[in-house]
Amino acid sequence: MAEKRKSPAPKQTEKPPAAARAVSAATAVQPREGAGQRADFEAAMKLFHARSLKLAHNLFLRATEGPERDVAQRAQLHAAMCARRLEQADPILSTAEDHYNYGVALINSREVRGAREHLETALRLAPGSDHIHYALGVAQALSGDLPRAHENLRRSIEIEPRNRIIARHDADLAAVTGHPPFHELLYPEKKAW
């Protein structure tokens, strides 16, 4: 039996975003044959690269159902990657320590912007915590915000003087210890008379 073809849709003056085009192409009525399976996979890959992981995950799952085993295997692998990334995307953080620990992990992976956000949240929840002031100061120094970094490190040292010794040996602060305000903060005994 011959397949009925729909007449082409009228052209729009504006193109929809790539993610929307990928979804509409993949959700068009297509028989479950190799071409439809490949179309689902290709649309899912576009969504995957656009970081639309939830939509990509659903299309990858659809692409696992079809006659082409290699496409189905790649789709299954990518669906699993989407699922893992979706699980990691939204950690549940409720306490100052949760935000602090996550912020430090982000500093270690050099995601400084995210680290600052979580450490600022932690500081709002626990404003008198020296270790949070210290970590936020490090994140601010790494992002080039030296006045705020200096202020948070100063506050950290006021609360807990041992943080001065820690900061002197912190590799993340090595680039700023030569700047006069930081040098005076970390080495007050070396002030010129």
- Collapse the DSSP code of 147 into the 3-class scheme (helix H, G, I; strand E, B; otherwise coil) and give the result: helix
pTM: 0.56
Q: Do residues 23 and 57 lie in contact, with contact meaning Cβ atoms separated by under 8 Å?
A: no
Return the top range by mean pLDDT from 41-55, 96-110, 159-173: 159-173
Mean pLDDT over 18-42 rounds to: 63
Q: How many residues does the chain have?
A: 193
Average pLDDT along the chain: 83
Read off the tokens for 64.
């696992």
Q: Is 93 exposed, middle or buried (0-12, 13-18, 19+ CB in 10 A)?
A: middle
pLDDT at 71 over 50: yes
Give the phi and the psi of residue 9 in degrees, each rounded to 5: -70, 150
Q: What gap in Å lies between CA 1 and CA 8, rounded to an integer? A: 21
pLDDT in tens, 115-160: 999 999 999 999 999 999 999 999 999 999 999 999 999 999 999 9
**pLDDT for residue 51:** 80
Read off the tokens for 4.
């009925």
Torsion of CA 138, 181, 177, 145, to 10 degrees: 40
161 vs 34 pLDDT, higher one: 161
Mean pLDDT over 174-193 rounds to: 86
| Residue 18 burial (CB count, 10 A) | 13
Closest CA to 59 of 71, 77, 73, 47: 47
Q: Is 103 exposed, middle or buried (0-12, 13-18, 19+ CB in 10 A)?
A: buried
